[in-house]
Amino acid sequence: MATNTIAPDKEKLLDWYHQIVLIRQFENACDDLYKQKRITGVYLHLYSGLEATGVGSVAALGKNDNVITAYRDHGIAIARGVDPKLVMAEMMGKRTGTSGGKGGSMHIAERDLNFWGGYAIVAGHLPLAAGIALKEKYVGSENVVLCLMGDGSTNNGYFHESLNLSAVWDLPVVWLIENNLVGMGTRVETSSGQPDLVKRAIAYGMEEGPRVDGQDVIAVHQAVSEAVEYARKHGPILMETLTYRYKGHGVSDKQYDVREGFKEELDEWHHKDPITILANYLKANFGDIQPELDQIQQEADKTVAEAIAFAESSPNPTYEDLISNVYV
Amino acid sequence: MADKNVSMREALRSALMEEMERDESVFVMGEEVGAWQGTHRITAGFLEKFGEKRVRDTPISEMVIAGAAVGAAMAGLRPVAEIMTINFAFLSFDAIVNAAAKVHYMFNGQFKVPLVIRAASGWGNQATATHSHTPEPVFAHFPGLYVGCPSNAHDAKGMLKAAIRDDNPVLFTESIALYPKASPVPDEEYLIPIGKSDVKREGKDVTLVSYARGVEWSLDAAKQLASEGIEAEVVDLRWLRPLDLEPVFESFKRTNHCVVVEESLPHFSFGSEIAAQLQEAAFDYMDAPIKRVSAMDVPLPYAHDIELMALPNAQKVVNAVKEVLK
């Protein structure tokens, strides 16, 4: 793989910092709102802790490239540029949400941004990614598909069939495993014969991409940018980021924080927090930047507050919404 | 122009070929569709004519055949994915039910899925328990999906062309036993609209409701019954979704008797659904209980004699009609 390291400029880094902080604040708000029963339902999978992977990887795409993910999708939606107001409205099942209140937390999408959505059958979006990539190849475009998936997505048949087909057909897909060490409650080394997940590429004769520090947005961006260029020219590539899920599998997960060793592990990962890592980098390279970071924090808080206000004042879907769009 | 007698296999092949000639975004993918010329020879000659880009041999990977076809359809192509036989479609079930049938609704209309999944269906050749399924009613359970099941060459051609042009996902099953059967097919182009049933024979004494291969048994039974002075009306539903029952209700209000004929199993079946809807719509017109002729409620065995014992046929339809008219 080609390596042409270009240090991102200050403006870009501050933009990423803003996105990461915004996603963190958004997810914290979702957590609170769920506990207050202002967000309802049984599913709400927070992206807290994984923000650098989402922001760094999505930033590596051009606007005509495509991105698709699993059910832990709020952060990806925001990173791709979906208005947080519309995301929050979808959380609250409002008519103004990205899916009109019919998709919920796990099914955010924005066709106009080539964000093909979050999918809730584990690994069920992988064949869709292959199909979207097939269309790009079929029409002779140079666009690629970034397919994010959790480590838990790597052990059902969809993973095998989709990666194999992408290799056989040379489809332009970056298969990106967000390895947060645990699929629901089961550790990677317990569920995978080969826990070095990126090595699966070898079985498909596919380019084995890197396993990178998923907490460092600069490292993620660099690695995914290279993978995207590889996919554009040559076909599929499998890569992995090592990251961590601060919250439970979903909001209804009551087990995660009583798990043996969890507190120590969480503490260890808090030392590798995406916000801290990026803030430290910014301070080391751009001097006294704290006022700008504080400003970003305030903007993010304001954006989240506005999103909540927008969502809560939005109308509920109607009977007409219930029965519309079953068919074209 | 005169209609030509054409086999259902040939009718399907020409439907698919005409649609691929008409629209560059239509392509086929599936196991052995290319170099092998198609397991059922529906795509014979396609690879030579259209090339590898549009005639795509896949690995034996039913989950991704269906799932990648959904993705390609969402992105704007019009895939016709072949699942070699419907028996393998159980492996595709999630992609069909949770992806194809859901994405339009669950993202509130942002994506369309103009997809056709073709699969050969049926039993009767000692194919045994896992290769003798006719689960069309199972797939018809799910809103968001259309299910088409032609009963002859003429319908097969017009229905497949309509399915390919529609913006919704369609599961299209083809009875293996009907592939060689010929019927008159016009030279000029025609479409058979999705969700339009067809009265295949008129009659005043009893209404036979069926689809796909069951229509053949119903028509054979009607012929035999006619020689005994009983006139059966045969309604071919063609599509299990959308279900066009108006002609059934209309017929039943005249005949007051009904037998449902289905190739598949009786439990939670096509027959159950028709009987339920009919009693809701036309209870006052009912002179006898609605009877169902289905396969027996067992997995299918290998030995031919007992296999046939388990399956419906025209004689069983005749017997059922005589019972309801008793």
Q: What number is the ipTM of this complex?
A: 0.96
* CB-neighbour burial class of residue A92 (10 A; exposed 0-12, middle 13-18, buried 19+): buried
Residue of A132, A155, A320, A324 to mutate, testing the B interface (most B Cβ within 10 Å of its Cβ): A132
**pLDDT grade for A6, boundaries at 50, 70 and 90:** low
**Residue among B80, B87, B81 at smallest CA distance from B134:** B87
CB-based contact, B162 to chain A, within 8 Å: no
State the smallest CA–CA distance between residue A284 and chain B in angstroms: 43
Return mean pLDDT, chain B.
97
Q: What is the DSSP letter of B287?
A: S
Residue of A165, A171, A318, A323 to mutate, testing the B interface (most B Cβ within 10 Å of its Cβ): A165
Q: Residue B72 is nearest to which of A109, A124, A131, comparing CB atoms? A: A131
Is A131 in Cβ contact with B67 (below 8 Å)? yes
State the smallest CA–CA distance between residue A240 and chain B in angstroms: 22
Checking if the pLDDT of A178 tops 70, the result is yes
Return mean pLDDT, chain A.
95
- The DSSP bridge partners found for residue B199 are B235
Residue of A86, A121, A138, A146 to mutate, testing the B interface (most B Cβ within 10 Å of its Cβ): A138
**Residue among A172, A47, A166 at smallest CA distance from A105:** A47
Tell me the percentage of chain B whose pLDDT exceeds 70: 99
Residue pair A303/A84 in contact (Cβ under 8 Å)? The answer is yes
pLDDT at A253: 81
Checking if the pLDDT of A261 tops 90, the result is no
Rounded Cα gap, residues B174 and B151, in angstroms: 8
Checking if the pLDDT of B237 tops 70, the result is yes
Rounded Cα gap, residues A74 and A80, in angstroms: 10
State the smallest CA–CA distance between residue B106 and chain A in angstroms: 5
User: B103 to chain A: which residues are within 8 Å by CB?
Assistant: 117
The residues of B carrying an active-site annotation are 62, 131
Q: What is the pLDDT of residues B160-177, one digit of tens each?
A: 999 999 999 999 999 999
Q: What is the pLDDT of residues A277-328, one digit of tens each?
A: 999 999 999 999 999 999 999 999 999 999 999 999 999 999 999 999 999 9
Give the count of beta carbons closer than 10 Å to the beta carbon of residue A255.
Answer: 11
Q: What is the pLDDT of residues A30-40, one digit of tens each?
A: 999 999 999 99
**pLDDT grade for B234, boundaries at 50, 70 and 90:** very high
Q: What is the DSSP letter of B195?
A: T
Angle between helix A274-286 and A290-312 (nearest 10): 140
CB-based contact, A324 to chain B, within 8 Å: yes
Tell me the percentage of chain B whose pLDDT exceeds 90: 98
Give the count of beta carbons closer than 10 Å to the beta carbon of residue A168.
Answer: 17
Is B59 in Cβ contact with A165 (below 8 Å)? yes
228-267 in A: which are within 8 Å (CB) of B? none
Q: Residue B108 is nearest to which of A127, A136, A325, comparing CB atoms? A: A325
**pLDDT grade for B102, boundaries at 50, 70 and 90:** very high
When pLDDT is averaged across residues B295-302 and rounded to a whole number, the result is: 96
Q: Residue B99 is nearest to which of A101, A128, A328, comparing CB atoms? A: A128
Tell me the percentage of chain A whose pLDDT exceeds 70: 98
State the smallest CA–CA distance between residue A158 and chain B in angstroms: 6
B117, B121, B127, B128 alpha-carbon torsion, rounded to 10°: 90
* CB-neighbour burial class of residue A264 (10 A; exposed 0-12, middle 13-18, buried 19+): exposed
pLDDT at A5: 61
User: A121 to chain B: which residues are within 8 Å by CB?
Assistant: 94, 98-99
Rounded Cα gap, residues A236 and A166, in angstroms: 6
Query: Which chain A residue's Cα is nearest to B169?
Result: A327
CB-based contact, B63 to chain A, within 8 Å: yes
Residue pair B261/B235 in contact (Cβ under 8 Å)? The answer is no
pLDDT at A251: 84
State the smallest CA–CA distance between residue A121 and chain B in angstroms: 8
Is B68 in Cβ contact with A130 (below 8 Å)? yes
Q: What is the pLDDT of residues A188-201, one digit of tens each?
A: 999 999 999 999 99
When pLDDT is averaged across residues B117-130 and rounded to a whole number, the result is: 92
A288, A290, A296, A300 alpha-carbon torsion, rounded to 10°: 160
Q: What is the pLDDT of residues A131-164, one digit of tens each?
A: 999 999 999 999 999 999 999 999 999 999 999 9
pLDDT at A254: 75
| Helix (H), strand (E) at residue B291 | strand B291-293
Rounded Cα gap, residues A257 and A151, in angstroms: 20
